[in-house]
Amino acid sequence: MAAKPDVQALLFDVFGTVVDWRSSIVDELTRFGTEKRLQADWAAFTDDWRGLYQPAMDEVRSGRRPWTILDVLHRESLDKLLVKHAITGLSEADKDHINRVWHRLKPWPDTVEGLTRLKSRFIIGTLSNGNVGLLTRMAKNAGLPWDVVLGAETARAYKPLPQAYLASAELLNLAPGQVMLVAAHNGDLAAAAKVGLATAFVARPTEYGPHQSRDFKADRDWDVVTDSFIGLAKAMGC
Amino acid sequence: MAAKPDVQALLFDVFGTVVDWRSSIVDELTRFGTEKRLQADWAAFTDDWRGLYQPAMDEVRSGRRPWTILDVLHRESLDKLLVKHAITGLSEADKDHINRVWHRLKPWPDTVEGLTRLKSRFIIGTLSNGNVGLLTRMAKNAGLPWDVVLGAETARAYKPLPQAYLASAELLNLAPGQVMLVAAHNGDLAAAAKVGLATAFVARPTEYGPHQSRDFKADRDWDVVTDSFIGLAKAMGC
């Protein structure tokens, strides 16, 4: 960290970096399907759901659609996929429960220990495309000890738009260089670096399960490159 | 709580309700003055500083001035008061350090235990006129276990404007009636109740020291009326 002595806050990408969304959702939907006697390929369903994530945000990023939080985008995608996968007979309460699986994602094994160590020395928070309500409930469910919940909703801009990063730093009264983005995705880090944030890459090579096609490793010399939040804590002197 | 079974989040007024701003600032400035060999009536100085709080926010509430965070308003007031109290010889770093005393306010004795108990069952967060950076650093300094930091800055409106309360509920995906405002100030609770929030009054009769002139007790039948966060936790079944 000699190169980044000014960092006061570490802000984290969440889906994939902090929590294992794919295994969490496949596991929970598989249990739900068994209880409800529903037949479906829940892994394919989960991958399809995540597949609609970027296109849904693109409608908002482009300005074709006014600001809309991720819970709403997730629900619209879910409704499409229930048709595509021919899953029928669910009540409104069932659909709402399924949609809120994103509030119940499980952390990677090293997440909570790493965050707890980092919290002793830095402000730690989210910088996620998830909405504040989603991230707050996820933190309570998973025991994530955030100091502050920031991201697309507080910035009114989805990553990787520059405003998502800059507004998050500004909300902490920090210059971009005093904030480090932690992410498992090179593209997210590239966008953050472009507007002046410090960067840490944490490899999560199983995020997409058998379909992982990229982000196996750092594709640039980010300020920190590691493979767990424990490694990150050590690199940051915690 | 039979009357308010739907409350999912407790959001707190901070200055006066969660932290004892007056004693904290008088104590710290007295120590600072001794170290720097400055002569001043620090209690009067502190009361004057708080006295400029509402007028400064009124400029923003009225629209006469664009959105401006509380750290900036505090600093402008500080600069005026250094002149009024004839305090000279301070460096820019000294003034910045004094201004950040608002980030280092001390909790009331029952605060941390009460919040910790409430956190087990509810989302707990701020709904303060303080800015996010101020509130986040205060929480780290004082050990306040917030789930989420909300308030005027995330709403872009100072209390008691309706938007301050409504935007905070919306950021949690909650209806106003699912959020309880906790405050030591009847006026804050009245504004929150008017837009549908549940209300809890916690008496802090020494907030203004010898100058306390109101808010000794609840002036309405708020949903909860108590004199500590322990009492609040009990009333909420925690």
Give percent of chain B above pLDDT 90: 97
pLDDT for the residue numbered B5: 66
DSSP B89: -
Nearest to A9 by CA among A131, A210, A165: A165
Backbone angles phi, psi at A117, to 5 degrees: -65, -45
> What's the DSSP call for residue B206?
T
Q: How confident is the model at residue A5 (pLDDT cuts 50, 70, 90)?
A: low
Q: Kindly state whether B121 is in contact with chain A, defined as any CB-CB distance less than 8 angstroms.
A: no
What is the per-residue pLDDT for B2?
44
Contact B153 A137 (CB under 8 A): no
Q: What's the rounded Cα separation, in Å, for the pair A19 and A34?
A: 24
B223/A contact by beta carbon, under 8 A: no
Q: Identify whether the C-beta of residue A40 lies closer than 8 Å to the C-beta of residue A87.
A: yes
- Chain A hits for B133, CB-CB cut-off 8 Å, are 171-174
Pair A29, A47: CB distance under 8 Å: no
- A174 touches B: beta carbon within 8 Å: yes
Mean pLDDT for A79-104 is 97
Query: Cβ distance B164 to B158 under 8 Å?
Result: yes
Q: What is the pLDDT of residue B73?
A: 98
Q: What are phi and psi of B149, to 5 degrees?
A: -110, 105
Cβ neighbours around B149 below 10 Å, total: 32
- Check pLDDT > 90 for residue B4: no
**Is A147 within 8 Å of chain B by CB?**
yes
Are B69 and B153 in contact, with CB atoms under 8 Å apart?
A: yes
Q: What is the mean pLDDT of residues A149-160?
A: 98
The radius of gyration of chain B from alpha carbons, rounded to an integer in Å, stands at: 18
Encode pLDDT of A35-88 as tens digits.
999 999 999 999 999 999 999 999 999 999 999 999 999 999 999 999 999 999
CA–CA separation, B163 and A126 (whole Å): 24
- Residue A219 to chain B, least CA–CA distance (Å): 33
Which DSSP letter does residue B147 get? S
- pLDDT, tens digit, 9 for 90 and up, residues A213-236: 999 999 999 999 999 999 999 999
* pLDDT(B148) > 80: yes
Q: How confident is the model over A4-32, as a mean pLDDT? A: 95
pLDDT of B122 > 80? The answer is yes
Give residues with Cβ within 8 angstroms of A104, minimum separation 6: A24, A28, A137, A138, A141, A142
> What integer pLDDT is reported at residue A122 of this predicted model?
98
CB contact under 8 A, B173 and A71: yes
Take residue B86 and report the two structure tokens written for it: 């004839």
Residue A19: pLDDT band with limits 50, 70, 90: very high
The 10s digit of each residue's pLDDT in B72-90 is: 999 999 999 999 999 999 9
pLDDT confidence band for A103 (50 / 70 / 90)? very high
CB-based contact, A154 to chain B, within 8 Å: yes
Assign a CATH topology to domain B9-20+105-235: Rossmann fold (3.40.50)
SS (H, E, C) chain A: CCCCCCCCEEEECCECCCECHHHHHHHHHHHHHHHHCCCCCHHHHHHHHHHCHHHHHHHHHCCCCCCCCHHHHHHHHHHHHHHHCCCCCCCHHHHHHHHHHHHCCCECCCHHHHHHHHHCCCEEEEEECCCHHHHHHHHHHHCCCCCEEEEHHHHCCCCCCHHHHHHHHHHCCCCHHHEEEEECCHHHHHHHHHCCCEEEEECCCCCCHHHCCCCCCCCCCCCEEECCHHHHHHHCCC
Angle between helices A21-36 and A42-51 (to 10 degrees): 130
Mutate to test the interface with B, among A118, A147, A170 (most CBs of B within 10 A): A147
Q: How far is B67 from chain A (nearest CA, A)?
A: 13
- B136 vs A172: CB contact, 8 Å cut-off? yes
Q: How far, CA to CA in Å, does A191 sit from each of A25, A180, A187, A195, B169?
A: 28, 12, 6, 7, 31
What pLDDT sits at residue B1? 46
**Phi, psi (degrees; rounded to nearest 5) at B40:** -165, 160
Interface test with B, best of A72, A148, A154 (most B CBs within 10 A): A148
Task: Tell me what the mean pLDDT of segment B164-191 comes to.
Answer: 98
Give residue limits of the domains in chain A: 9-20+107-235, 21-103
DSSP letter (8 states) at residue B215: -
Name which of A133, A139, A146 is nearest B171 (Cβ-Cβ): A133
Interface test with B, best of A140, A141, A156 (most B CBs within 10 A): A140
The nearest CA of chain B is from the CA of A64 a distance in Å of 22
Residues of chain B contacting residue A102, judged by C-beta atoms under 8 Å apart: none
Confidence at residue B7, expressed as pLDDT on a 0 to 100 scale:
98
The span from the CA of B10 to the CA of B4, in Å, is: 12
DSSP character at residue B141: H
Per-residue pLDDT, B6:
93
Spatial CB neighbours of A128, under 8 Å, sequence gap ≥ 6: A12, A13, A14, A15, A135, A151, A152, A159
Closest-approach residue (CA) in chain B for A124: B136
Beta carbons of A147 and B139 less than 8 Å apart: yes
Least Cα distance to A124 among A112, A134, A110 occurs for: A112
Pairwise CA distance, residues B18 & B114, whole Å: 10
pLDDT over 60 at A2, yes or no: no
Three-state DSSP at B180 gives strand
Inspect the interface and report whether the beta carbons of B132 and A172 lie closer than 8 Å: yes
**Which residue of chain B has the CA closest to A173?**
B133
Q: Which residue has the tokens 């306010």?
A: B105
CB A148 within 8 A of CB A123: yes
Mean pLDDT of A201-211: 96
pLDDT band at A150 (very low <50, low <70, confident <90, very high): very high
Of B134, B136, B147, the CB nearest to A136: B147
For residue B207, the SS3 value is coil
Q: Nearest CA of chain B to the CA of A124: how many Å?
A: 10
Residue B62 CB contacts under 8 Å (≥ 6 apart), including other chains? none
- For the cut 60, the answer to whether the pLDDT of residue A3 exceeds it is no
CATH class, range A9-20+107-235: alpha beta
How near does any CA of chain A get to the CA of B154, in Å?
7
Q: Which CATH number fits domain A21-103: 1.10.150.240, 1.10.630.10, 3.30.70.260, 1.10.1740.10?
A: 1.10.150.240
pLDDT confidence of B111, banded at 50, 70, 90?
A: very high
